Amino acid sequence: MDNLQNFLLAAPVLLFSMVAHEYAHGYAALRQGDPTAYQLGRLTWNPIRHIDPFLTILMPVMLYWASNGSFIFGGAKPVPVQPRNYRNYRRGDIIVSLAGIATNILLWPVCAVMIVGLGLLGRLLPPAVDTLSLLQLMMVQGVLFNLVLAVFNLLPIPPLDGSHVMKYLLPPAWAIRYQLLGRYGILILLVLLWTDIGKPLFMAWMKPVTVLGGSTMQFVFPYFLKSPYAMGIG
């Protein structure tokens, strides 16, 4: 398949994974006593409510074309929360921050199981093999996207989710200074992503994606349907 077809398959899966991540933050916040996301209409599966013009649209498109179709990544508009509303500030902050990551980790095996299920269905319905193979390819993207979103958001760089846990592991005075790094968070990420010094550190942090993704593909490989779309998988 050409780059446009690949992009059209990958984009909906990435969007769903990002929306699920943000919905989980909002739902967890509501359970912890903060109704902000609900009151602002952000506790919804409607992707339009979660779209950020740059993070959700421009960045994935630019990364995909800049990498000649080998890489796509993005983010949704962060769900607004008011930690002061949590019944227990520290506990609520940690739960809400990790809710999105936990959701992506859960979606990873769900996508893998769907690959298997689609493969078994294809064996029963040979005329539907091509369509089911396309859906399998989308679920492959789902495995990878959700692993990437989970591991990436665990980076202890403010304001990413991992920083909300890291700050509680530091002495109070250090934690305050650490959170101030949030104003430089984007710059730090750019250094990690685009410089010769940062890239090895970033790739080392993201190694679990390669390991877990590879193991998952080995597990589901026998269930991939034989079609033109499945060429190169595994």
Residues with a catalytic annotation lie at 22
The 3-class SS string of 141-174 reads HHHHHHHHHHHHHCCCCCCCHHHHHHHHHCCHHH
Q: Which two tokens stand for residue 115?
A: 């690959």
How far apart, in whole angstroms, are the C-alpha atoms of residue 25 and residue 7?
A: 27
How far apart, in whole angstroms, are the C-alpha atoms of residue 208 and residue 27?
A: 27
How far apart, in whole angstroms, are the C-alpha atoms of residue 40 and residue 3?
A: 37
DSSP state for residue 80 in the 8-state scheme? P
- Could you identify the residue written with the tokens 């970033």? 202
Whether 37 contacts 43, CB under 8 Å: yes
